[in-house]
Amino acid sequence: MRVGTVEGMTKLVADSRVDGRRQTAVALALVAAMLFMAILTVVVTVPRPASAQGTTFRSVRIGVGDDALQIATQNPLRITLLYEFVLVYNVYSTLLTYDRSYNLVGGLAYDWFVEPDQENWTFKLVDNAYFTDPGNPSDRSHPVTADDVVFTFNLVQNNPGNIFETYTERIVRVEKVDAHTIRIGFNEPYAAMTSVASAIPILPQYIWSGIGNVLSYRNSVPVGSGALYLDTANSTIPTVMVLRRTPDHYGDSVYCNVVRPTEVRYVSYASSGPMVLDFQNGQLDIIDHIAPADYLRALASWSPKWAVDTGFVGEISVNVMTPEIRNAYQQFKPGSNNPILLNHTVRTAIAMSIDKQALVDQALLGLGISADTLVPSSNPWHYNYPDSQEFVFDTAAARRLLNDAGWTYNVNGNLDPNAVPLAKQGGADVLQFRFYTLNTAEQWEIAARNIVGWLRAAGIETVDRLGNTNPGFGLYSVNQMGGYWYQGDYDIWLWDWIFTPVSDPSVDVLSVETTGEIGSFSDNYYSDSTFDATWNTSVVTIDPAARRALTDQMQAMIYDYASYILPYYRLDLYAANPNGPGRWSNFGNWSRDAALVDDSDLPPLFYQLQPADNPAPVISSMAPVQEAAGTPATISVAVTNQPSAESLTFEWDFGDNSPIGTTTTNTVTHTYAAAGNYTVRVRIEDSEWPACTATQARIFPAGTANRPPQPTSLLASATTGEPGTTIWFNFSASDPDGDDLTVTWDFGDNSAVVTDTVTGTLTPKALSRSHVYSAPGTFVANVTVTDNQVGVGQHSVSQEVTIDIAAVSEPPPAVSGNPFVEIGVPVAIAVVVVAAAVVYLVRRSRARKEEQQREETGPPSPPPPP
C-alpha cells in the first residue's frame, strides 16, 4: 500500500498516491518538534449552538488530473489511495487534527494533556458532535461520546491487518472517564501519541458494533462526524466525488470553523491537458495533479499557482528479501528475487549509478529536489545526510568497484571487465535484474530509460518481467505493481511514498523499514535487528534531541544500506482560478501553508475560501483590554464586511462567567468586579458566516493601571508583489491616557528599523510608511507602539502583516528533445506535453473488481507501495 501514515505518513501514491499518509495508516503525526505539553486548549469562540448557514448554494469544483480520483474502498480501516484518505478524513473526525499550517489543534477533543509520568493521556471531548448519516444529514440522534472513542480504539487493536494497527500496539488501556472524557494509557512514555490521536478516525459504535468482519466491510454509506459528508446520491466515483457541508457541525460552535462551500465537487480527468483547458476556460475553481509540462507552459503566467513540497519521496527500491523471509510467508512463495542483490557491493554500485539531479531535471522538469534520506525535506525530522559521505554518481567508479569484487567476466565466462552484464568467473552471478516501474505517467518511463543507461555503463543489465533487455524495464499498472509487491516478486523498482510535513519520523515513516512491516508495508523487505531496536527506542524517547539522534541514525542506516535509493522529493502542482464557476477567493499561500492543498485530507482550505458575493466578516484586530476593577472597560474589535456591507451581530464572552453579551456594534463596555486576567472572546456573524477572535483583559485593583496604546490593525497596500515593488503600510494609534507614543516600524527583511514620535494621542493619529522589498521571500512587517510609561500595566502593543514577495517570473526551462543524450540511449523523446512527472497512481475499474474479490475471499493484500 504505499501509505505514509496519515497525515504523517505518506500519501502513498505511486503517483497516484497510494497514500501513505498515514503509515500504517494515518498519522498526522507529531508536529515539528515534540508536542508533549500539558494542557493545550484551542477553544477560541463563544460556546453556543451553531447557527444555520444561509440558503445560497455554493459549490467549489476541483479538477483532478491523470485519473487520480480512484477510491477502491470507503472502509477507514483499509484505505490506501490518496482520495480514499481525502474522503475518510473529511467525513470522519479524529481526536486531534491540524490547521492550515500543520499546527496541532483540537478535533473531537478540545482539550488534552499528558500526566507527569508521560504514560497517561486525557482527552476532553466536545459535547455537541454528532454522526451524520448522508441519507438524513440533519438527524442528531447519534451524538459522539467517549463510548465511541473507546469502541474505536478497541476495534483497531482487536482486528490485526487494519492500517492503524501499528498506532495502537503499545496502548494498554483506553478508559471512559465520563461521557465526554477518555484516558489512554501506556506502560512507558510514548513519543507518537499525537500521531495516534490525529490518525484514528472515530467510528460510530451503533453501526460498527453490528459488523462481523470489519476488515471486509464496504462501508458504502460512510457515517462520520467530520466537517463534510459524502453525497452518495450525486457521487459517481471515480468520475465525480461530491462532499457536502455537515449541518451544524461542532467545528462551528467550538472552533468557529465553517465550511464555506455547500459542496466540494471533485471531477476526474483522464489526463492533465484537458483539465487545464477547462480550468483556463473558467469551468473549474481549483486543479491538482497537473503535469509538469502543463504547469510550466500552459500555466506559465497563471496566478495563483503553487509547486508545494508536500512530502513526496521518489524511491528506487532494491529487493533484499532473504530465502528465510520468503519461506516464512505464504504470500511470498509464488514470487522471487535475485539473491545477488543481498551483496552490499552490488547495491553500492547501483546507488553510484543514479544521477539524482538528472532525474529531477528530466523526469520532473526541474519541479523537485534531489533527495537523500527517507524522511522528506519538508519534514522537520529530515536528516540532511553529509554531502561528503553520499554516494557520488560515477558509473566508471561503480564498474571498478564491481571489477574489484570479482565481477570481471562476461556471461560466457570470458575475462571482460567492460562486459554488460558483468559476471564472475565461469559466468556465475550474472548482474542482470528485473526492473519495474509504473505505466501511469511519462515521468516513470523517462526516469527508467535514464536509469537503465546508467546501470549498463556500470556493467549491470536490466530486463522486464519477460527477460527483454530492450528497453530493459517493464511499465506496469498499479494493480500489477501491487501484485509484485504483495509477493515480493521483483528485483529493482521505481515507485514512491508520500509523507507530510508533520509525519512522525518513527511511526509514520521509518516504521516501513522495520522487520514487523514485512508482509504489510515493507516493499524492500529489509530486516536488521539493530534498526528494529533503535526504532523501538525512538518511539518511547520523549526528549526531542535524544529522539532526533535516534531517527538520524536510522535514516543514515537506510541510506548506507542502499536498498532504498531516494532519487528526489517531488513537488506537487496546483492552481486556483478566482474567476472560476464559484467565484472563490482567499485561497491563501499553499507553498507556505501546505495543509491548504485541496488533497491534504484536511478541511482548512474550505474554512477560509471567500465567495465573491458575500465574503465573511474580516477581523483586523482586537486590542488587549486593561482597566481597573469596578471601572467600565471598553472592549472593541476592528471588523469589515465588504463588499456585502451586511449588518453584523456581536456576541461577547467576557471570560468572568458573566452572561454572554449581544450587540450590533463593534464596541461594548463591561465592568469586571475583581482584579485578574481574563480571556475575552467575540463571535461576529452576518447572514451566513461567523468570524471569531479573542484578546486578554488585564484587570488591576482600582487606580493602579495605565491603559495601553490603542493601535488599529496594520494594513498594507499590497500583500504580494515582486522585488522592487513599493508597499505602503498604514494604521492609526491613540492612547486613552493621552501619553506620547513611540512607533517603531520593522519591515521584516533586516532593513533599518524606523521610528516615529506621536503626540496629542487622545484622538487617533494616522501613520504611514512605505518600503521597497529588494529580494523575494515571505516577510512579517511589524509596527510596535509604546506609551513610554513604567510600572503596573501594559505599555507596548504590536500589529503585523505578512508580505509575500515572489521572484520575477522567468521563461519555463526548455525540454530537450532527447533527455537521454548524456547516456547514449538512442531514443528521441518529444517535448513533454500532457502527463509528466506528477501523474498519480490510478486504480481503474479492474481494481475495484479485485477489491470485491478480495473481500469475498478474505482480507485483501497490502496496497501497492508508492
pLDDT of the residue at 14: 32
Identify the bridge partners of residue 626 per DSSP, sorted by sequence position. Answer: 698
Residue owning grid cell 492503524: 164
Domain containing residue 782: CATH number: 2.60.40.10
Question: Is 197:112 a contact under the CB 8 Å cutoff?
Answer: yes
Return the pLDDT at 853. 39
* In a domain? residue 446: no
Would you call 58 exposed, middle or buried from its count of C-beta atoms within 10 A (0-12, 13-18, 19+)? buried
Residues 6+ apart with CB under 8 A from 605: 100, 587, 588, 596, 597, 598
681 falls within a domain: yes
How far, in Å, CA of 329 to CA of 215, rounded? Answer: 20
| 624 burial level (CB within 10 Å; 0-12, 13-18, 19+) | middle
- Write out 52-106 in H/E/C secondary structure: CCCCCCCEEEEEECCCCCCCCCCCCCCCCCHHHHHHHHHHCCCCEEECCCCCEEE
Q: Which of 522, 442, 498, 431 is nearest to 475 (CA)?
A: 442
Classified as helix, coil or strand, 339 is: helix
Grid cell for residue 362: 528530466
β-bridge mates for residue 480, sequence order:
none
In this structure, the number of other CB atoms found within 10 A of the CB of residue 297 comes to: 17
**Do 474 and 452 touch, CB atoms closer than 8 A?**
no
Q: Report the pLDDT value the prediction gives residue 793, as an integer from 0 to 100.
A: 67
Rg (CA), the chain: 29
805 and 781 within one domain: yes
User: Do 729 and 644 share a structural domain?
Assistant: no
What residue type is 593 in one-letter code?
Answer: D
Are residue 822 and residue 711 in the same domain, yes or no? Answer: yes
* Domain-located, residue 16: no
Is 599 a domain residue? no
Using alpha carbons, select from 102, 106, 71 the residue that is nearest to residue 88.
Answer: 71
- Give 5-34 as a DSSP string: EEEEEEEE-SSS-EEEEESSS------SS-
Instruction: For residue 282, give the nearest of 17, 577, 612 by alpha carbon.
Output: 577
CA–CA distance from 310 to each of 136, 509, 543, 828 (Å)?
36, 14, 26, 32
Judgement on whether residues 684 and 716 belong to the same structural domain of the protein: no
- 633 found inside a domain: yes
Checking DSSP bridges between strand 432-438 and strand 461-463, what pairing results, if any?
A: parallel
What would the grid cell of residue 73 be? 474502498
Strand partners, 585: 610
List the grid coordinates of 172: 494498554
- Decide the pairing of beta strands 568-576 and 305-318: antiparallel
- Name the phi and psi angles at 377, rounded to 5: -65, -25
Q: Name residues whose C-beta falls within 8 Å of residue 645's C-beta, 6 or more positions apart in sequence.
A: none
Do 736 and 778 fall within a single domain? Answer: yes
Task: Sort 817 into a burial class: Cβ within 10 Å, 0-12 / 13-18 / 19+.
Answer: exposed
Whole-angstrom distance, CA of residue 668 vs CA of residue 679: 15
Cβ 582 vs Cβ 335: under 8 Å: no
| Domain presence at residue 68 | no
Q: Within 13 A of 866's CA, how many CA atoms are on the CB side?
A: 39
- Length of the chain measured in residues: 866
Q: Which residue range forms the structural domain that includes residue 786? A: 707-791+794-833
Whether residue 682 is found in the same domain as residue 751? no
Cis peptide before 238 (omega within 30 of 0): yes
Residue 781 lies in a domain: yes
Flag residues of the chain having pLDDT under 50: 1-47, 49-52, 809-866
* 711 lies in the same domain as 819: yes
Q: Are 656 and 729 found together in one domain?
A: no
Find, among 547, 595, 665, the residue nearest to 189 by Cα: 547
Beta-bridge partners for 710: 734
Measure the CA–CA gap between 74 and 93, rounded to whole angstroms. Answer: 15
Distance from C-alpha of 140 to C-alpha of 128, rounded to nearest angstrom: 9
Residue 392 cell numbers, joined = 557520488
- How far is residue 468's CA from residue 199's CA, in Å, rounded to a whole number? 44
Q: Which residue has the cell 486525557?
A: 122
Is the Cβ–Cβ distance between 554 and 573 less than 8 Å?
no
Q: How far apart are the first and last CA of the chain?
A: 7
C-alpha cell read off for 756: 516615529
Which residue among 678, 700, 722 closes a domain? 700
What stretch of H or E contains 369? strand 368-370
* 757 sits in which H/E element: strand 754-758
Beta carbons within 8 Å of 825's beta carbon, 6+ residues apart: 449, 450, 452, 453
Alpha-carbon span 590 to 722, nearest angstrom:
18
Helix, coil or strand: residue 187: coil
Estimate to the nearest angstrom the gap between the alpha carbon of 76 and the chain centroid. 18
Q: Is residue 764 part of a domain?
A: yes
Torsion over CA of 184, 554, 841 and 489, rounded to 10 degrees? -110
Contacts with 482 (C-beta within 8 Å, 6 or more apart), sequence order: 861, 862, 863, 864
Pick from 227, 452, 487: nearest CA to 335: 487
Q: What is the DSSP letter of 459?
A: T
Say if residue 665 is in the same domain as residue 757.
no
Domain final residue, candidates 671, 700, 729: 700
Distance CA(526)–CA(683), nearest Å, equals 54
pTM: 0.80
C-alpha cell at 383: 536528516
How far apart, in whole angstroms, are the C-alpha atoms of residue 681 and residue 408? 77
Q: What is the pLDDT of residue 792?
A: 67
Per-residue pLDDT reduced to its tens digit, 552-592: 999 999 999 999 999 999 999 999 999 999 999 999 999 99
Report the distance separating Cα 609 and Cα 588, nearest Å. Answer: 9
762 is written with which cell numbers? 487622545
Residue position matching grid coordinates 519520523: 505
Co-location of 829 and 717 in the same domain: yes
Task: Quote the number of domains for the chain.
Answer: 2
Using the 8-state DSSP alphabet, how is residue 124 labeled? E
Rounded CA separation 770/803 (Å): 13
Whether 717 and 822 map to the same domain: the answer is yes
Give the SS3 label for residue 215. Answer: helix
Report in angstroms the alpha-carbon separations of 35 from 105, 339, 379, 501: 11, 43, 15, 15
Domain end (from 700, 722, 742) = 700
Q: Which amino acid is at 728?
A: W
Strand-pairing partners, residue 181, are 124, 178
C-alpha cell read off for 542: 520523549
In order of 45, 174, 503, the CA distances from 97 in angstroms are 18, 19, 12
- Note whether 675 and 776 are same-domain residues: no
Task: Write the single-letter amino acid at 337.
Answer: N
Task: Give CA–CA dist 311/594, Å, rounded.
Answer: 10
Integer Cα distance of 434 and 469 in angstroms: 9
| Strand-strand pairing, 676-685 and 618-621 | unpaired
CA distance 507 to 504: 6
